């Protein structure tokens, strides 16, 4: 029999090295994982159990919700609220922070999550995921909304689960990035991708080209140079991918490098980008940096952005270090010349 390491074993062995670890974090992660296994099952059954399609409601972002956006949000909340490990939660789908019901004790962590990332893909049977971010909080007290507004650099853990051909969990606790594949027969996540590292250079980019006319000059310059390929200043050909599912793009980049951009958009200055700082950009930035990549708004390291509201959006440029630094350099050139 091969010596398989389960996620539970991996986490317990990691926590053993930490003198202050009490088991609360392990319990919390275990509950997140249970929720994600339940979500994986629902996503997998799809039309068989009637979960596809629109819920005909809008979320706080003004986006039409899918039935699965609501179902997966409920699964996360119900798996997490009772455990005594959380002071509170915040979800991309819910207006205000979610309080822990009075009958349960409050704990020392906050969880922020996007229960179903890439949900526009759900009805066409493409990859979606769940993204989560864990912060510490003051124990035993009701968190104030401001308690959630913390820089990404304060995260103690971030991860995402990918519901694709395999269900996979990608996780960091600030000590590298590891990938686990769900063994559906046994119901356990098994360590399959140890210490994931992003190549520093890459020749693949991901961007929604239909927004091209709204981009700023540095993004236009970078993409033009990629498209010019071996005839242009980069002197090599580039490839392009766009899955329209952040979890899938980040997973690809973790495995073979590349850069993902959802940049600042001149369409609506009140919405400086599409992706949400607390539920998407911060957890992905923590993972990407831990895998040796870089993550920026174009003008600031994402993990250094001080949040001002829980549903704030930010421009997001992440991936292979040298490519991201090049794009940041193009922003610096433009801002310096202004």
Q: Which residues are annotated as a binding site?
A: 92, 114, 116-120, 208, 274, 280
Q: What is the dihedral of CA 46, 189, 186, 43, to 10 degrees?
A: 0
Taking CB within 5 to 8 Å according to partner kind, which of Mn ion, ligand F6P, none is near residue 93? none
Q: Nearer Cβ to ligand F6P, position 57 or 120?
A: 120
Instruction: Output the CA–CA distances (angstroms, integers) from residue 194 to 94, 169, 172, 174, 288, in the order listed.
Output: 34, 12, 11, 14, 15
Q: Which is nearer to ligand F6P, 82 or 242 (CB)?
A: 242
Size of the site for Mn ion (CB under 5 A): 2
Burial of 14 (0-12, 13-18, 19+ CB in 10 A): middle
Q: Name which of ligand F6P, Mn ion, none residue 175 binds, using a CB cut-off of 5 to 8 Å depending on partner kind.
A: none
- Looking at the Cβ atoms of 84 and 164, the one nearer to Mn ion is 164
User: Minimum distance between the CB of residue 114 and Mn ion, rounded to whole angstroms?
Assistant: 4
Query: Considering beta carbons, is residue 18 or 64 the nearer one to Mn ion?
Result: 64
Shortest Cβ distance from residue 244 to ligand F6P (Å)?
Answer: 4
Give the integer Cα–Cα distance in Å for 88 and 145. 10
In order, the DSSP letters of 119-181 are GGGGGGT--EEEEEEEEE--TTSPPPGGGG---GGG-SEEEEEEESSSEEEEEESSS-EEEEE
For the bound state, the minimum distance from the C-beta of residue 206 to Mn ion, rounded and expressed in Å, comes to 15
Pick between residue 117 and residue 204 the one whose CB is nearest to Mn ion.
117
As measured in angstroms, the least distance from the Cβ of 274 to ligand F6P is: 6
Which residue, 109 or 163, is less far from ligand F6P as judged by CB?
Answer: 163
Closest to ligand F6P by CB, 85 vs 320, is 320
Which of 235-238's residues contact partners 24+ apart within 8 Å by CB, and which partners?
Answer: 236/203, 237/203, 238/203, 238/204, 238/205
Give the annotated binding-site residues for Mg(2+): 92, 114, 116-117, 280
Phi and psi based region of residue 298 (left: phi greater than 0; alpha: psi -120 to 50; beta: remaining): left
Q: Residue 245 touches which of ligand F6P, Mn ion, none (CB < 5 to 8 A by kind)?
A: ligand F6P
Q: How many CB atoms lie within 10 A of CB 21?
A: 14
Question: With CB cut-offs between 5 and 8 Å by kind, which of Mn ion, ligand F6P, none does residue 184 bind?
Answer: none
Where along the sequence are the contacts to ligand F6P (CB under 6 A)? Answer: 117-118, 120, 208, 244-246, 274-275
Minimum distance between the CB of residue 8 and ligand F6P, rounded to whole angstroms?
Answer: 29
Q: Does 93 bind Mn ion (CB under 5 A)?
A: no
3 state SS of 87: strand
Residues 107-146 that bind Mn ion (CB under 5 A): 114, 117
Cβ-closest position to Mn ion: 117
User: Smallest distance from the beta carbon of 55 to ligand F6P, in angstroms?
Assistant: 16
Q: What DSSP designation does 184 have?
A: T
Longest distance between any two alpha carbons in the chain, whole Å: 66
Looking at beta carbons, which residue is closest to ligand F6P? 246
54-58 and 64-66 as β-strands: parallel, antiparallel, unpaired? Answer: antiparallel
Whether the Cβ atoms of residue 127 and residue 257 lie closer than 8 Å to each other: no
Nearest approach, Cβ of 244 to Mn ion (angstroms)?
10
The token pair at 169 is 């969990």
Instruction: State the residues that interact with Mn ion by CB under 5 A.
Output: 114, 117
């Amino acid at each position: 029999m091969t010596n398989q390491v389960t996620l539970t074993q991996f986490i317990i062995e990691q926590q053993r090295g930490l003198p202050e670890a009490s088991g609360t974090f392990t319990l919390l992660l275990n509950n997140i994982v249970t929720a994600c296994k339940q979500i994986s099952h629902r996503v997998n059954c799809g039309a068989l159990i009637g979960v596809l399609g629109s819920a005909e409601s809008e979320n706080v972002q003004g986006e039409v919700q899918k039935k699965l956006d609501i179902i997966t949000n409920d699964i996360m909340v119900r798996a997490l609220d009772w455990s005594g490990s959380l002071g509170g939660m915040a979800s991309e789908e819910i207006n205000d922070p979610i309080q822990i019901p009075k009958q349960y004790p409050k704990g020392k962590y906050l969880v922020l999550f996007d229960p179903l990332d890439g949900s526009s893909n759900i009805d066409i049977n493409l990859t979606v995921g769940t993204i989560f971010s864990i912060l510490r909080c003051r124990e035993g007290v009701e968190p104030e909304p401001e308690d959630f507004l913390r820089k990404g650099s304060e995260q103690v853990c971030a991860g995402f689960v990918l519901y694709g051909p395999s269900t996979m969990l990608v996780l960091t606790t600030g000590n590298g990035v590891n990938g686990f594949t769900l063994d559906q027969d046994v119901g356990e996540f098994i360590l399959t991708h140890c210490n994931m590292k992003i190549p520093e250079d890459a020749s693949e980019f991901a961007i929604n080209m239909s927004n091209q006319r709204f981009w700023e000059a540095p993004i236009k310059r970078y993409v033009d140079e990629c498209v010019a390929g071996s005839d242009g200043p980069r002197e090599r050909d580039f490839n392009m991918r766009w899955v329209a599912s952040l979890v899938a793009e980040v997973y690809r980049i973790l495995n073979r490098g590349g850069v993902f951009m959802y940049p600042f958009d001149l369409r609506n200055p009140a919405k400086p980008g599409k992706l949400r700082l607390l539920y998407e950009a911060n957890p992905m930035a923590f993972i990407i940096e831990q895998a040796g990549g870089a993550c920026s708004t174009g003008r600031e390291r994402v993990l250094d952005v001080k949040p001002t509201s829980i549903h704030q959006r930010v421009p997001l440029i992440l991936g292979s270090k040298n490519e991201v630094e090049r794009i940041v350099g193009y922003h610096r050139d433009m801002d310096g010349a202004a």
